[in-house]
Structure 1
Amino acid sequence: MFLLALSPILWLAIALCVLHMQPHKACLLALLISAVVGIGLYDMTTIHAFQAFLEGVALACWPILLVIIAAIFTYNLSEHTKGMEGIKKMLTSVSNDRRVLILLIGWGFGGFMEGMAGFGTAIAIPASMLVGIGVNPILAASVCLVANSVPTAYGSIGIPLVTLGNVTGTDATTLATYTCLQLAPLTILCPFIMTLVAGGSLKALKGMTIICLGAALGFLIPELAVALTMGPELAVVAGSIGAMGAIIACAKMFPVNDPAYAMPAHEDDEEKLTVGKAITAWLPFILIFVFLLATSKLIPAIHDPLNLIKSSVLIYDGEGGAPYTFTWVATPGVLIFLAAFIGGSKQGAGFGEMLGVLKNTVYGLRFTILTIISVIATAKVMGYAGMTHEIAEAAVAATGTAYPCIAAFIGSIGTFITGSATSSCVLFGKLQTEAAQAIGATPAAQAWIAAANATGACAGKMISIQSIAIAVAAIKTAGADGKLLAFAAKVYVPFIIVMGLIVYFGQSVVG
């Protein structure tokens, strides 16, 4: 029965990694397999299977896909209005040292793009920017894969952790805080690793220690503060802004002038950016930050009334079912769309133009939309049928009280298979809490172990086939997949081992 319970996951692993099937087709078949097994072997009625599917569709569309479409639309609109060109110009004016620019663009701006849009933009955009200013393509892709590991759990305005909270019934703010704490050692190490990769040896750290430390702490401290007080939505956005500020400040106060890492000079006859133009370029992202902050729990006078505008519907009426709530206004996707339209109009785009960009964005994401709906519906069917519970019992039977050691590894496998931290949280989030309950973990420790799924998803993002494919496309270097995977695996293995130890020993602290 265990293998049958696991069959949709096994199918996804084979279909995506061996057969190289398109994700949306593989996930649709996984949904079919889960329904057949659930109805045929787990005594799930056809009606309940259909209701579980509908609840999965509802969760996928509102809020997950709403946020993803809104975030990607914001970026695409910034590209369309040339606002992104102004942002690129500002970032590359800080230093001519390759190591500093790699940290600023790969770590700082890459984290910002992950927090705002996610979905591969944090690899594709920084990598292409680095190549554009003269960084070796393989190097550019490598450092961006490393940089994208830590912020992945908070991608697209925190949607993986928000989803994990919905799936497990755990408070999203608690999950955001625990994930940040689990990732803290790696958040500190990442800028140093990126600098070592940039220079190819320990010599690359010469003169860069203060900048690396500033980049790390500038990221970690705001991220933890926001995660603790507001939840996952703005944690990485705040962290990346802090990192960019720290890198710029350190680069100005402690400039590095090593000729070995100097970038070639470029003639720049373009019009200089004024303060007004710079603000306009950043305006959609500034508005997103302001809107999300204004409607957060920190401002109850706005937050509380807006959160009353909601509808609750009982979709699944079987055992374990609960009304599903649609929050119509105080949800990140709606606020991101509002910010994008206001920002786009200030950048000179007409309403019809913006609708055209939105149409192209949705069309470009059509297969992704199908993939996410399918994988979330699969997880709902597996959960309500009892298949997830069976997998959790088998995992606990195999590892016993040592289960927390593999919790992050399981999360990483979910992202490796699907390419999405959100999908990993949907597939395995419930399994994590059920396994934690089976070993007698306290409620706090259960939340800690659930957070490990998001932490592991960060590691899995580095070796995800989809991430590597995005990186290869960004640097326009065909056949580089093998090199990048071999590099990412060297970082992934120690990452996941350290995560296992942190989760195992940390459970007693929080519990």
Structure 2
Amino acid sequence: MYMTWIQDYNPLGNIGLSALIAAIPLFILLYMLGIKRSKGHNAAFFGLLSAILTAIFVFKMPAALALSATLNGALVGIFPIIWIVITAIWVYNMTVESGEFEIIKNSLASITDDRRLQALFIAFAFGSFIEGTAGFGTPVAITAAMLVGLGFNPVYAAGICLVANTAPVAFGAIGIPVVVLGQVSGIEPMTLSKIIGRQLPFLSFIVPLWVVVLMCGWKRAMEVLPAVLVAGICFAGTQFFTSNYISVYLPDITSAAVTIIGLLIFLKLWKPSKVWHFPDEIPSADGKVQLQYSITEVLRAWGPYILLAVLVFMWADDKFFGFKNILVGWEKSLGLTFFAWPGLHNLVIKAAPVVAKNTPYAASYAINFLSAAGTAIFLSGILSLFIIPNYGPGRATACFFKTIKMLIYPIFTIAMILGLAYIMNYSGMSSTLGLAFTATGSAYPFFAPFLGWLGVLLTGSDTSANALFGSMQKTAAQQIGIDPNLTVASNSSGGVCGKMISPQSISVATAATGLVGQESTIFRFALPSSIAMIILIGILTYLQSTVLHWMLP
């Protein structure tokens, strides 16, 4: 028979001191990632270990409950989150191994030889597509390498791709950051998606112009303003519509696709008066790239991603011919549903002032394998074998296990970060931090996105930042008396602004562009943009909590 335990949010008798101790796991992550520059899995391990010890010895959480909460979070990290990551990168790896990705690269690079427009196509639009399907550093690695291959200055290639990757991060990897945010905060992911979709489009609209201005300055940017506006309007408009009315899983994929198609059509009708190149480009580079493949070959190369988008749409939308309802029905008949997490469910009691009266804290785990988004991606990979030439089941299977091996450290890292988030939530440590932040009072909505920004700066992942701070954002908002949905959503919106300056992202960019050792150069390149963008999101969130509250769903 398990005993219940009531959370204590001020174990040291001083909320400031209690919050300082509760933040120890975050300080450890900051030190190991930002100062010591440790590998992610090492930082996650020591952060998790410190969280467990703090929960047990300071917050007096029974050890059995602490370990159960940690295991619950770790398994959520593995399924459904890692299942999506593995399958998405598996599909990408198959296109690379088969040579089809070279066709994709060539089809994009051959559209224009103007560096500004190439940046819009590859760094912004195509990078957003890769962010939507794979995420976790993949888009910067791919697009930065592509730009250098086209002859871009390596510093600009790295910096531009980092800045351009801002707009899609919140919905990256098939919407995983928002899904995780919903799991840790207890708020329906689609509710958060709608709010994020009423914040980020403002940023998404200006990012294309931001990228071009960074490249060539305002005067030369105005020469391609029509194309910049097409990219911004296509992306921001589709992002708003998809996130509010279709699915949390598809905003990046649909926005990127519409932007690419919009730019393709527009550039058939319009060309800039002057073609622009970097003054100090690599001398041997030939900016003009000819399309080397037929339309049939190009469509075939893009086929796996087209299949992925269609299947994810079918899996994510229960209104699509009722397909998802059929899958859920099959799961119920097979017993693949939610179940109460043993040794934790309703054994932790939330207390005042976090809740009005003592309330049992539910804990569950889903084994809904059939309706999981990762399964849709996995099926798209299987169906792709009928499209990709000379690539049979044997190679696909080998590629799948090779992908798992390649992701072994990210798998452990994400599992530990989710375990850390769960132990902080169930021990009451996140609530303690949230209560301390209520000291900012009515100004809190402005600062709420900065927590997400800090989280992504530390962890390199909007998913991880949402797992760390999602519950705390909700607690702080409830204590101040403002809409918790807004502050929780703003954690993800603010987080996207920290992605470009996180050590992990910069390391990926420098590795892809041959600039290892010049991380500080890339950091200085991206830092002003990161600060300016997070301030904009902070102001917007504050206004949406007051005079612009009508904008929220």
Give the residue type in structure 1 aligned to 2:524.
A
The residue that corresponds to 2:516 in the other structure is: 478
The residue that corresponds to 2:380 in the other structure is: 339
Determine which of 304, 322, 327 is the counterpart of 1:284: 304
How far apart, in 1, do the equivalents of 2:424 and 2:288 lie? 58
How far apart, in 1, do the equivalents of 2:205 and 2:236 lie? 7
Deviates more, 1:318-327 or 1:92-101: 318-327
SS in 2 for 1:413: helix
How far is the alpha carbon of 1:372 from its aligned partner?
A: 0.6
SS in 2 for 1:299: coil
Change (3 A) 1:326 1:300: farther
Determine which of 479, 501, 507 is the counterpart of 1:438: 479
Matches within 5 A, 1:338-487: 338-347=379-388, 348-397=390-439, 399-441=440-482, 445-487=483-525
Q: Which runs of 4+ in 1 moved over 6 A?
A: 266-270
Give the residue type in structure 2 aligned to 1:155.
G
How far apart, in 2, do the equivalents of 1:36 and 1:354 lie? 43
- 2:197–2:244 CA contact under 8 A, matched in 1: no
Change (3 A) 1:269 1:462: closer
Determine which of 213, 234, 237 is the counterpart of 1:221: 237
The residue that corresponds to 1:20 in the other structure is: 37
Determine which of 133, 141, 148 is the counterpart of 2:165: 148
How far is the alpha carbon of 1:279 from its aligned partner?
A: 2.0
Matches within 5 A, 1:310-329: 310-315=336-341, 316-317=344-345, 318-319=347-348, 320-329=361-370
Give the residue type in structure 2 aligned to 1:124.
A
SS in 2 for 1:150: coil
SS in 2 for 1:277: helix
Determine which of 153, 157, 163 is the counterpart of 2:174: 157
- 2:150–2:286 CA contact under 8 A, matched in 1: no
- 1:110–1:123 CA contact under 8 A, matched in 2: yes
How far is the alpha carbon of 1:255 from its aligned partner?
A: 0.6
- 1:78–1:344 CA contact under 8 A, matched in 2: no
Give the residue type in structure 1 aligned to 2:297.
K
Give the residue type in structure 2 aligned to 1:384.
Y
How far apart, in 2, do the equivalents of 1:156 and 1:260 lie? 33
How far apart, in 1, do the equivalents of 2:88 and 2:105 lie? 18
> Is 1:498 the equivalent of 2:536?
yes
- 1:218–1:245 CA contact under 8 A, matched in 2: no
Change (3 A) 1:304 1:14: same
The C-alpha deviation readout for 1:316-360, integer Å capped at 9, x for no partner, is 222212332222111111110110122134213121211111111
How far is the alpha carbon of 1:53 from its aligned partner?
A: 1.2
The residue that corresponds to 1:29 in the other structure is: 46
- 1:210–1:250 CA contact under 8 A, matched in 2: no
How far apart, in 2, do the equivalents of 1:330 and 1:31 lie? 30
Change (3 A) 1:435 1:356: same
Gaps of 5+ in 1: none
How far apart, in 2, do the equivalents of 1:57 and 1:147 lie? 31
Structure (1 or 2) with the greater helix fraction: 1
The C-alpha deviation readout for 1:406-450, integer Å capped at 9, x for no partner, is 111100111111111100010000011111111112xxx211111
How far is the alpha carbon of 1:248 from its aligned partner?
A: 1.7
Gaps of 5+ in 2: 1-17, 349-360
Change (3 A) 1:422 1:268: closer
Deviates more, 1:91-100 or 1:257-266: 257-266
Change (3 A) 1:3 1:137: same
- 2:201–2:237 CA contact under 8 A, matched in 1: no
Change (3 A) 1:266 1:14: closer
Number of aligned residue pairs: 505
- 1:409–1:496 CA contact under 8 A, matched in 2: yes
Matched-pair identity in %:
30
How far apart, in 1, do the equivalents of 2:408 and 2:186 lie? 29
How far apart, in 1, do the equivalents of 2:246 and 2:365 lie? 23
How far apart, in 1, do the equivalents of 2:59 and 2:286 lie? 66
How far apart, in 1, do the equivalents of 2:321 and 2:475 lie? 33
How far apart, in 2, do the equivalents of 1:394 and 1:408 lie? 16
The residue that corresponds to 2:294 in the other structure is: 274
How far apart, in 1, do the equivalents of 2:154 and 2:523 lie? 15
How far apart, in 1, do the equivalents of 2:158 and 2:413 lie? 25
Matches within 5 A, 1:135-214: 135-199=152-216, 201-214=217-230
The residue that corresponds to 2:248 in the other structure is: 232
The C-alpha deviation readout for 1:180-212, integer Å capped at 9, x for no partner, is 21112211111111111221x212223211100
The C-alpha deviation readout for 1:350-381, integer Å capped at 9, x for no partner, is 21211111111111111111111111101101
Give the residue type in structure 2 aligned to 1:360.
K
* TM-score between both structures, scaled by the size of structure 2: 0.89
How far apart, in 1, do the equivalents of 2:431 and 2:213 lie? 43
How far apart, in 1, do the equivalents of 2:276 and 2:117 lie? 13
The C-alpha deviation readout for 1:220-277, integer Å capped at 9, x for no partner, is 111111111222201111001111112222222111141443996468798x422322
The C-alpha deviation readout for 1:107-126, integer Å capped at 9, x for no partner, is 11000000011111111111
How far apart, in 1, do the equivalents of 2:53 and 2:120 lie? 49
RMSD: 1.7
The residue that corresponds to 2:77 in the other structure is: 60
* TM-score between both structures, scaled by the size of structure 1: 0.96
Matches within 5 A, 1:75-154: 75-154=92-171
How far is the alpha carbon of 1:300 from its aligned partner?
A: 4.9
- 1:455–1:499 CA contact under 8 A, matched in 2: yes
How far is the alpha carbon of 1:291 from its aligned partner?
A: 0.7
SS in 1 for 2:223: coil
